[in-house]
Amino acid sequence: MSEPLELVVSAPPHIRAKETVSGIIGWVILALLPVTLMSVYVFGLYAAKIIILSVGTTVLTEAAIQRLRKIPITIGDGSAALTGLLLALILPPKVPWWIPVIGGFVAIALGKQVFGGLGYNVFNPALVGRAVLMVSWAELMAQSWLSPLGRLDAVSTATPLALMKQARVGLAQFHSAYYYKPLLFTNPGGCLGEVSALLLLVGVTILLYKRIIEWRIPASFLGTVFVLSLFTKTDPLFQVLAGGLLLGAFFMATDYVTSPMTSRGALIFGTGCGFITVLLRCFSNVSEGVTYAILFMNALTPLIDRYTMPRIYGKGKRREKSSS
Amino acid sequence: MVKIARWGTYLPETKEKTSGRLIEDASLPSEVVIPLCQHIGAPCDPLVEKGDRVLIGQKIGDTEAFCSAPIHASVSGEVIGVEPRPHFTGDCLLSVVIAPDGKQESVEFAGVSGKLTPQKVRCAVREAGLVGLGGAAFPTHVKLCPPEGKSIDSVIINGCECEPFITCDHRNMLEKTDLLLDGLRIIMATVEAEKGYIGIKMNKLDAIRKVEELVAGEENVKVARLDTKYPHGAEKQLIKAILEREVPSGGLPMDVGALVHNAGTTIAISEAVREGKPLTERVLTVTGPGVKNPKNLRVKIGTPIGHLIEECGGFEGEPGKVIMGGPMTGFAQFSIDVPVVKGTSGVILFPRDQVKITPHDPCFRCGRCIRACPVFLIPNFIGLYVERDMIDKAEAYSVMDCIECGLCGYVCPARRPMVQYMKYAKGKIMARRKKIS
């Protein structure tokens, strides 16, 4: 018999793919960096303040709650920071300092940790934070816009979507084509993350290339908005570019935890998001519908997953097995 | 053109160190340990006692049970014990321990004489102690006896060799191509199948070309070129890829008229039938970043793996993990005294610094395991249920259909022990079913 060796014994597989949770989250944060930097460039200190406060609050809240629950602190995986960054990107630039703080706290505490932390939350935490802010401080959230670049002194302007809505009832003049260029490069009024559609798409390209997000949810989301816009007689291209739809479709609706895992489920989810977005934008008294659309579909995700499970190899139609 | 499946994943092949190396004969160890159960089915009873002298090919274990295979001595020498010894699965199994005398005297072998009949083939295959050499080690003669009412129309030779690192089937197919085809024809004649396929992945183009050359112009034997995605070599997935048929859940390949044999087994069938040669040695790959000179070796059954590691120049770096079988489905060993058995396709070594023990994260529902699963399960849900000991739910999510290919664990960014969950649930369910019946 040979000398005993100290060998590691574990269950297979003995090799692993290189991707890790923190690595994936890191890539998403990296993909958001171009638009984040642009927002700081355009809105200056306003943006920097919101981003720092929001990220700081989410990370601290996560650590504090995990400390209270006496469970390992997992701020190192980056998910809390990502929630903070996403929340900052869907806030208007001129909100007071306590808005991102309250939003960040709500996002992590009510949006994530009450459910048990990463992987167990039903709703997208950043959107939960924003929804709470929108119903609690509606005016602040609807009026703290800035006209960027050189006109920083100018007081609030309306967002293009709000203008479109006013135009539909004859309150304002509105030419959607006028906004293509600003929306792509520097948005005349909107949240931090809506500052440039083009830079957002730079990040999206990275995520699609790294296969961190799949095409199904954003494609069905944007496609549905585009097609339905034709029916509601609004400019489809404008609808797609405006109001944080791109940010929502590529970075929020694709959140692993709160979106369906099956391929067919992803298509249903995206289509549903698109449908509700257009419904809210055109037929409700809120000007912008992406947040509620995604939150609503988040709630349906367990159901969608359940009814779109793939057929198992060697089995007939899938059913909740009890007999055989 | 090869068809690309929607399941599975491309794994790093890491076969280059040994795929071009000729098979070498390993030297004799100072003792061989031959477990009396090296297959799925009934264990054998010992036929020898301490102090007996045995010859190569002499039967040292057998049983009356149908689903079993006899065990033969792989060396000539003295039996120094019949005792429980560590087995690669982690158990201790009754084993015959032989001290080789170095003379390597052998009993007389004789192939099947006269015309081959199915009965003679089955008998020769059983007497040779053949089992599936791909890893599962199912007795081969049982597979050659389809029960009344089941007809087999297609025989598939599995030359996929899906597992990274392992190259023994690749070398076997290149170096014993004639025997491979002979074995295939013997199987086809025995089960009266019209079609024969040799499924080989596109990462073994030299083997594909060589076999294709030899079967050129034949109507009923074909090479099926397969994409390199893992796990094409899993039996049910292979049948689906080649024949477009799905084996029903809980069923056997013969339910859809198919029979699959591993390439190494097929060569052994030819040797057993033509020469009467029992299974006393096999080809395996000793490789991995933890060994100095990776090799393909022809090894006596019962050789302790420590001897093979020495044969390959010893450990490279501090030993960390020793795996028997492939890196996706193989068993990590706690000792290098464990012997090579009939189903051992490789010994893979990792140095300490490449073995990471990291805590796993919670599942964040990325869906990678769902997209990879070749059986189309929802592995992450099963894992979450098993984690909470909700075995009923795991069963409802069809954990029993899991083939334990290991892909869900491979792709998981949270490093969750997916296969462990599956095995745990299956074990519990099996135990419960046994209790009920």
∠ Cα A260 A266 A269 (to 5°):
85
Residue B356 lies in a domain: no
Q: Are residues B267 and B405 in the same domain?
A: no
Contacts of B419 in chain A (CB under 8 A): 11-13
pLDDT of residue A192: 87
Residue A300 falls within a domain, yes or no?
A: yes
Q: Which of A107-111, B327-331, B359-363 has the lowest mean pLDDT?
A: B359-363
3-state secondary structure A82-140: HHHHHHHHCCCCCCCCHHHHHHHHHHHHCCCHHHCCCCCCCCCHHHHHHHHHHHHCHHH
Instruction: State residue A240's pLDDT score.
Output: 86
Q: Is B95 within a domain?
A: no
Let me know if residue A57 belongs to a domain. yes
Which has the minimum average pLDDT: A10-24, A143-157, B99-113, B327-341?
A143-157
CA quadruple B297, B301, B306, B310: dihedral sign: negative
Instruction: Give me the pLDDT at residue A317, please.
Output: 56
pLDDT at A44: 85
Q: Would you say residue B244 lies in a domain?
A: yes
> For residue A28, what are the contacts with CB-CB under 8 A and spacing of at least 6?
A82, A207, A212, A251
B 310-349 → A contacts, CB under 8 A: 319-323, 327-337, 348
CB A157 within 8 A of CB A146: yes
pLDDT value at position A320? 45
Return the pLDDT at A324.
36
Q: Is residue A53 part of a domain?
A: yes
pLDDT for the residue numbered A150 = 43
User: Does A3 contact chain B (CB < 8 Å)?
Assistant: no
Of A7, A261, A322, the CB nearest to B321: A7
pLDDT value at A285 more than 90: no
CATH assignment of the domain containing B134: 3.40.50.11540
Which helix H or strand E contains A236, and what residues bound it?
helix A236-241
CB contacts of B327 in chain A (<8 Å) are 12-15
Is B269 found in the same domain as B133?
yes
B25 strand-pairing partners: B298
Q: Is A309 on the interface with B (CB under 8 A)?
A: yes
Chain B residues touching residue A257 (CB < 8 angstroms): 364-365
- Does residue B139 contact residue B131 with C-beta atoms inside 8 Å? yes
Last residue of a domain, one of B216, B251, B275: B275
| Residue in chain A nearest B362 by alpha carbon | A119
Rounded Cα distance between B382 and B373, Å, is: 12
* Inter-residue contact B363 to B418 (CB < 8 Å): no
The token duo for B205 is: 């183009």
Q: Which residues contact A61 (CB under 8 A, 6 or more apart)?
A: A80, A104, A105, A108, A109, A113
Q: How many CB pairs under 8 A join A and B?
A: 160
- The mean pLDDT value for A21-27 works out to 95
Return residues 230-269 of B near A (CB < 8 Å). Answer: 236-237, 240, 246-251
Q: Domain of B232?
A: 118-275
Query: Are B123 and B242 within one domain?
Result: yes
User: B33, B308, B363, B364: which to substitute to probe chain A, counting the most A Cβ within 10 Å?
Assistant: B364
Together in a domain, B269 and B124: yes
Question: Which structural domain range is residue A154 located in?
Answer: 23-307
**pLDDT at position A321, please?**
44
In a domain, B295, yes or no: no
3-state helix, strand, coil split of chain B in percent (to 5) is 30, 20, 45
Q: What is the mean pLDDT of chain B?
A: 94
Contacts of B365 in chain A (CB under 8 A): 119, 256-257, 261
Please give the tally of structural domains in chain B. Answer: 2
Q: Please indicate, yes or no, if residue B61 is contained in any of the structural domains.
A: no
* CA–CA distance, B62 with B29 (Å, rounded to integer): 24
Q: Domain with A211 in it: what CATH number?
A: 1.10.3430
SS3 category, A210: coil
Q: Which of B275, B296, B316 is the last residue of a domain?
A: B275
Are the beta carbons of A321 and B319 separated by less than 8 Å? no
**Residue B289 to residue B165: CA distance in whole angstroms:** 10
Closest CA relative to residue A274, chosen from A318, A322, A228: A228
Between the alpha carbon of residue A24 and those of residues A31, A34, A212, A290, the distances in Å are 11, 17, 7, 24
Residue B348 has pLDDT above 90, yes or no: yes
Residue A6 lies in a domain: no
Highest mean pLDDT out of B36-45, B303-312, B427-436: B303-312
Q: Please give the ipTM for the structure prediction.
A: 0.89
Question: Is B255 part of a structural domain of the chain?
Answer: yes
How many separate domains does chain A show?
1
Q: What is the pLDDT of residue A181?
A: 73
Both B267 and B398 in one domain: the answer is no
Compare A222 and A183 and report the one with higher pLDDT. Answer: A222
Please tell me whether residues B381 and B254 are part of one structural domain. no
| B333 domain-assigned | no
pLDDT at A159: 73
Q: Is residue B435 pLDDT above 50, yes or no?
A: yes
The reply to whether B207 falls in a domain is yes
Share of chain B above pLDDT 70, in %: 100
pLDDT digit string, tens, across residues B184-205 = 999 999 999 999 999 999 999 9
Taking contacts as CB-CB distances below 8 angstroms, the residues of chain B near A74 are 361
User: Pick from A2, A19, A261: which is nearest to B367 by CB?
Assistant: A261
Radius of gyration of chain B (CA): 21
Helix (H) or strand (E) holding B72: strand B71-72
Does A11 sit within 8 Å of B328, measured CB to CB? no
Computed over its alpha carbons, how large is the radius of gyration of chain A?
21
Closest residue, chain B, to A76 (C-alpha): B361
Instruction: Say which residues have a Cβ less than 8 Å from residue A229's Cβ, sequence separation at least 6.
Output: A235, A236, A239, A240, A278
Q: Residues 86-125, chain B: which have Cβ within 8 Å of A?
A: 90
B323 contacts A13? CB cut-off 8 A: no
